[in-house]
Amino acid sequence: MRFSDLPPPREVPPEPTSRSTRTGDKREARDTDSTPPTAERPTDTKESSESSPDPSGVHHESLGPPSATSFRLRHLFNPAKGWFRRVERGTNKFLSHRVFPRVPGIAWPYSRALERDLTVSEASIAIRQLDNSFAGLKLLLISDFHAGPFLAPEALERTFDRLMTLEPDLILLAGDFATVRLEEVEPTAPTYKTLAAPLGVYGVLGNHDHYTGQPEALMELLESSGVRFLQNRSVMLERGGGRLLVAGVDDLLCGEAQLESALQGRPDGAASLLLSHNPDVFPEAVDRDVSLVLAGHTHGGQWRLPGLPVLVRMSRYRLDEGHYRAGNSQLVVSRGLGATGFPFRIGCPPEAVLLTLQPAQVR
């Protein structure tokens, strides 16, 4: 599928050259059974003395090298039917629908925190079978917007404006546009017109989008602003004679994720990207030899205390945030932009991820 009909990229200022890395306590080592992680990336802290934003006000950090993962299942935690998740989900829906919208000024604290603490995590990732024509492709991953009581539409618009200074070639949106109601997304929908990239802007739905009870209407609303949804389907990007498959699946918990349908028609020898709201699709993606999976959902825990495990973990495989590798596949999990439950984050600031794709060297 060619995209010559897409509008030209927006004229934006040059990419900031001033970069800094936030440092602090080490994150909990990812569960790897007998295989230790290949590396751990530093955690983020609130210490402004160790981090200065670039001219656009965005903090930068390294995503770090991939950690190994063993996919040891957390049997006591069922994110779909477990008692804790049922209580958490019901409480979240009640507060977001009945309580928080009635609190004056509830959007101010988190909207301010988003603009103050916005972080771009960056990495160069070698992709097997990636055609040389896609070398240097800049992919921007954004997830977990959570339009609703905590997020002012103006803050999201300014956030998008700042992210567009990165000049991405491809933008992938990993779901959770809403919190619990379709009406929450309506004021933010025009904001998505800000996002533009030569190879397109694609999205998938998250569990909170299904909480609205109107996922089809939500997709229609955002498609009018230029987002193309990949619900269990794929598109083939072409550039300079090379091809790159970009697939997407519905939410793993509340939707009907169909990876086989999403990858249908994948040609032999073509690299593949898979967009999924939930990172727990990764084991199946590894089995199907997907090159790179892009996900969100976890918020990085949203509340993290130095030196302690994630307080609220959303992945059954401990795929909390960052870069992972298993077999021939890789996974990147973003902390996302928004917040749910309460209008604040601790120890894991809002994040977008900028990846530069490179062909892997054949040994």
Whether 268 is in a domain gets the answer yes
* Three-class SS state of 354: strand
Whether 342 is in a domain gets the answer yes
Whether 257 is in a domain gets the answer yes
Spell out the alpha helix ranges (H) of 203-324.
Answer: 207-211, 215-223, 259-262, 282-287
How far the first Cα of the chain sits from its last, in Å, is 31
User: What residue numbers bound the domain in which 302 lies?
Assistant: 57-359
Q: Would you state the pLDDT for residue 57?
A: 73
Distance CA(259)–CA(231), nearest Å, equals 10
Q: How many domains does the chain have?
A: 1
Whether 42 is in a domain gets the answer no
Q: What is the pLDDT along the chain (363 residues), one digit of tens a residue?
A: 433 333 443 333 333 333 333 333 333 333 333 333 333 333 333 333 345 567 677 899 999 888 878 777 766 556 666 666 667 666 777 666 667 777 777 888 899 999 999 999 999 999 999 999 999 999 999 999 999 999 999 999 999 999 999 999 999 999 999 999 999 999 999 999 999 999 999 999 999 999 999 999 999 999 999 999 999 999 999 998 899 999 999 999 999 999 999 999 898 878 999 999 999 999 999 999 999 999 999 988 787 777 777 777 778 888 989 999 999 999 999 999 998 888 878 888 999 999 999 999 755
* Three-class SS state of 293: strand
CATH number, domain with residue 297: 3.60.21.10
Which residues pair with residue 62 across a beta bridge? 122
Distance CA(249)–CA(233), nearest Å, equals 7
Angle between helix axes 107-117 and 153-163 (nearest 10 degrees) is: 10
Whether 290 is in a domain gets the answer yes
Q: Would you state the pLDDT for residue 249?
A: 98
Whether 173 is in a domain gets the answer yes
Spell out the alpha helix ranges (H) of the chain.
Answer: 83-94, 107-117, 153-163, 182-185, 207-211, 215-223, 259-262, 282-287
Edge-to-edge order in the sheet of strand 119-127:
59-62, 119-127, 351-359, 137-142, 170-173, 201-203, 228-229
Q: Would you state the pLDDT for residue 287?
A: 95
